[in-house]
């Protein structure tokens, strides 16, 4: 027989009711507490109501809680707990377009793009899990004056043989060399302008070279995204909208919104008083378009093609002004849907370096993380025999990178620390993976136990109840994450769940317990594993079965 301590499962503060005007603000608050508690009657769900210190205490039917919460987990491993909650009924569902990652072509994937990539993936996963049709778009930086410099530089310094052997590294070297020479060479500067003008005029030789750069880059990037477990529905880019950008210019002119500055550039006035104190340049003096002009064209094109209900851009905080201007211009042009566009910004990461101290590309970061994780796993006595230890090490290392990134507010930058990120103890991605693998091991060791009839009354310990109450908050955490698009809520929820599971492993043994108790505890662990795995997948983490 189990005896419960007389502790409350939930409390209602009468001070809050006074602030909200539900109760009189004067009078003896304790007397009000006792009178209100006496008027509330227990039922099949709330089995005891009592007055505490200026608060009303509610004790719920623990057996009913366990039954309702854990019964669905008997349906199978892929039951999506919490995602059909009534809490989500108020959410507007529809088509969400998320633009994220968006590196520049002809350059190796810099580690600085990692944040946009994993944050955008989280947002897309969260929106999709809550019933939205999600379009994941990678809007590549594949146009602009920098490609004039790269094209002119390649014509002078490039080598087709090197391009075939080590494509992005050679393009990177060419670009650095061209940049350096352009500082003191007017001829190269002019050649860069000429090459970009040839691109805008669709001259075949320039377009052919540019297309080669783009194809090489996308192929390399897809390999990187596969390592991260990320996919895109659409690979777009500035180049897709060069002609439409000219149409935008014409539309702005016809609406009387485009002005000509003293320098001959095309500008739009965004000042509230119309006094040109806040202008945005959309056209160079030579008639070529800018990044924001193409962004306007891209937004309009996407609305026409995808009929999105909301569009989310994921970039660092340095682009906040750019997106403020973009949304203002779209609204000025009469596009009311621009009010449903949103910029999710984030701070920068410092300290992501290799052992040699150099700033690295993303491939180097992943290689370094995998190597360090594999070393840590080989040193551990608890590491299981794995079919593919390198793959497991990479998945665990990536989860460590993601959790390190997601623990705090996105707006805050942070200093990257290899040792803290990859340690098994503490609140890390390694801890999440270790807990999931341990739960999977528990399931494997107790195959057949689940066939017994589930008796929720066997989960009478405080440890069981604490886990059940925590699982009950999963939908609330997802709802909060949806409201502000911050992954920290989900990360902290999962980390706490892992700590509770660690305690339960010690206090709630399955092996050696009576069959009905063993079965009930295994169902509790199964529920914890399912929620942990589901939450990890929303974060963009692939749970491992063994480690």
Q: pTM higher than 0.85 for the full model?
A: yes
Residue-number span of the structural domain to which 55 is assigned: 10-60
* Closest residue by Cα to residue 352 from 273, 445, 420: 420
Residues 431 and 450 in one domain: yes
Known catalytic residue: 110? yes
Identified catalytic residue from 11, 86, 92, 107:
107
As a whole number, mean pLDDT of residues 66-91 equals 78
Q: What percentage of residues in the chain have a pLDDT greater than 70?
A: 93
Q: Are residues 368 and 381 located together in one domain of the fold?
A: yes
Same domain, 448 and 410: yes
Residue 1 has pLDDT above 60, yes or no: no
Average pLDDT on 346-357 reads: 70
**pLDDT tens profile 81-111:** 778 888 899 899 999 999 999 998 888 787 7
Q: Is the pLDDT of residue 45 over 50?
A: yes
User: CA–CA separation, 328 vs 270, rounded Å?
Assistant: 7
pLDDT at 13: 79
- Identify whether residues 413 and 462 lie together within a single domain: yes
- Quick one: average pLDDT of 232-261? 93
Name the more confident of 284 and 97. 97
Query: What letter would DSSP give residue 385?
Result: P
Across the range 214-243, mean pLDDT stands at: 92
In a domain, 258, yes or no: no
CB 11 within 8 A of CB 34: no
* Residue 234 domain-assigned (yes or no): no
Closest of 152, 90, 100 to residue 123, by C-alpha: 100
- Residue 189 CA to residue 172 CA, distance in Å, equals 18
In a domain, 402, yes or no: yes
* 71 and 55, same domain (yes or no): no
Residue 85 included in any domain: yes
User: Which of 22-26, 317-321, 386-390 is modeled with the greatest confidence?
Assistant: 317-321
pLDDT at 62: 80
- Give the pLDDT score at 271: 92
Show the DSSP H helices in 314-456 as ranges: 320-332, 362-379, 389-406, 418-422, 429-445
Is 253 buried (19+), middle (13-18) or exposed (0-12) by CB count in 10 A?
middle
Q: Same structural domain for residues 56 and 69?
A: no
CATH number (domain holding residue 378): 1.10.730.10
Task: Tell me which of 99-108, 220-229, 248-257 is least confident.
Answer: 99-108
pLDDT, average across residues 250-254: 96
% of the chain with per-residue pLDDT over 90: 59
Q: Are residues 14 and 85 in the same domain?
A: no
**Of 60, 77, 99, which closes a domain?**
60
Overall number of domains in the chain: 2
Domain co-membership, 406 together with 454: yes
State yes or no: pLDDT of 144 exceeds 90: no
Contact in structure between 514 and 354 (CB atoms under 8 Å): no
pLDDT attached to residue 378:
83
Q: Which band of pLDDT confidence, cut at 50, 70 and 90, is reported for residue 19?
A: low
* In a domain? residue 18: yes
CA-CA distance, 97 to 546, in Å (whole number)?
Answer: 35
What is the average pLDDT across 522-526? 93
Residue 454 in any domain: the answer is yes
| Cβ-count burial 389-408 (b if 16+ within 10 Å, e if not) | beebbbbbbbbbbbbbbbbb
pLDDT over threshold 90, residue 9: no
Do residues 80 and 15 share a domain?
no
> Does a structural domain hold residue 359?
yes
Task: Say if 526 falls within a structural domain.
Answer: yes
∠ CA(538), CA(540), CA(541), 5° rounding?
Answer: 105
Q: Give the per-residue pLDDT at 5.
A: 39
Same domain? 410 vs 450: yes
478 and 495 fall within a common domain: yes
Residue 183 has pLDDT above 70, yes or no: yes
Residue of 59, 68, 110, 193 with catalytic role: 110
Does residue 15 sit in the same domain as residue 85?
no
With contact defined as beta carbons under 8 Å apart, do 146 and 239 qualify? no
């Amino acid at each position: 027989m189990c005896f419960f301590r007389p502790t409350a499962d939930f409390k209602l503060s009468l001070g809050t009711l006074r602030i909200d005007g539900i109760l009189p603000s004067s009078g003896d608050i304790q007397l009000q507490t006792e009178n209100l508690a006496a008027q509330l009657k227990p039922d099949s769900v709330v089995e005891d109501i009592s007055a505490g210190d200026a608060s009303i205490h509610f004790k719920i039917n623990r057996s009913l809680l366990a039954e309702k919460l854990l019964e669905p987990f008997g349906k199978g491993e892929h039951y999506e707990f919490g995602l059909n909650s009534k809490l989500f009924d108020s959410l507007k569902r529809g088509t969400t377009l998320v633009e994220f990652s968006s590196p520049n072509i002809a350059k190796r994937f810099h580690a600085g793009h990692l944040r946009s990539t994993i944050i955008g993936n989280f947002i897309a996963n969260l929106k999709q899990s809550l019933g939205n049709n999600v379009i994941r778009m990678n809007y590549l930086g594949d146009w602009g004056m920098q490609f004039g410099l790269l094209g002119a530089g390649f014509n002078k310094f490039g080598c087709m043989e090197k391009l075939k052997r080590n494509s992005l590294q050679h393009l990177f070297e060419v670009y650095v060399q061209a940049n350096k020479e352009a500082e003191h060479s007017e001829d190269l500067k002019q050649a860069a302008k000429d090459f970009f003008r040839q691109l805008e005029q669709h001259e075949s030789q320039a377009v052919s070279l540019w297309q080669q750069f783009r194809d090489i880059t996308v192929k390399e990037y897809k390999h990187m995204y596969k390592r991260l477990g990320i996919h895109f529905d659409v690979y777009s880019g500035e180049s897709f909208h060069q002609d439409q950008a000219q149409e935008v210019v014409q539309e702005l002119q016809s609406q009387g919104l485009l002005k000509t500055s003293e320098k001959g550039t095309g500008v739009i006035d965004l000042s509230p008083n119309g006094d040109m104190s806040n202008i945005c340049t959309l056209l160079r003096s030579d008639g070529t378009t800018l990044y924001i002009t193409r962004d306007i064209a891209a937004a309009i094109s996407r609305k026409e093609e995808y009929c999105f209900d909301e569009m989310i851009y994921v970039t660092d905080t340095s682009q906040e002004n750019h997106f403020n201007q973009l949304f203002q211009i779209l609204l000025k042009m009469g596009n009311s849907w621009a009010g449903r566009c949103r910029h999710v910004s984030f701070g920068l990461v410092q300290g992501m370096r290799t052992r040699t101290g150099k700033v690295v590309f993303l491939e180097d970061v992943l290689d370094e993380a995998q190597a360090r994780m594999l070393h840590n796993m080989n040193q551990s006595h608890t590491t299981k025999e794995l079919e593919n230890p390198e793959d497991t090490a990479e998945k665990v290392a990536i989860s460590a990178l993601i959790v390190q990134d997601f623990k705090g507010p996105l707006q805050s930058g942070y200093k990257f620390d290899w040792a803290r990120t990859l340690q098994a103890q503490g609140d890390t991605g390694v801890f999440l993976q270790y807990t999931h693998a341990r739960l999977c091991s528990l399931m494997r060791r107790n195959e057949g136990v689940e066939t017994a009839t589930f008796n929720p009354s066997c989960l009478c310990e405080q440890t069981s109840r604490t886990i059940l109450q925590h699982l009950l908050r999963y939908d609330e955490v997802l709802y909060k994450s949806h409201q502000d698009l911050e992954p920290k809520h989900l990360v902290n929820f999962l980390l706490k769940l892992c700590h509770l599971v660690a305690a339960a492993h010690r206090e709630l043994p399955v092996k050696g317990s009576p069959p009905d108790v063993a079965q009930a505890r295994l169902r509790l662990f199964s529920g914890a594993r399912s929620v942990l795995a589901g939450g990890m997948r929303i974060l963009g983490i692939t749970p491992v079965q063994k480690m």
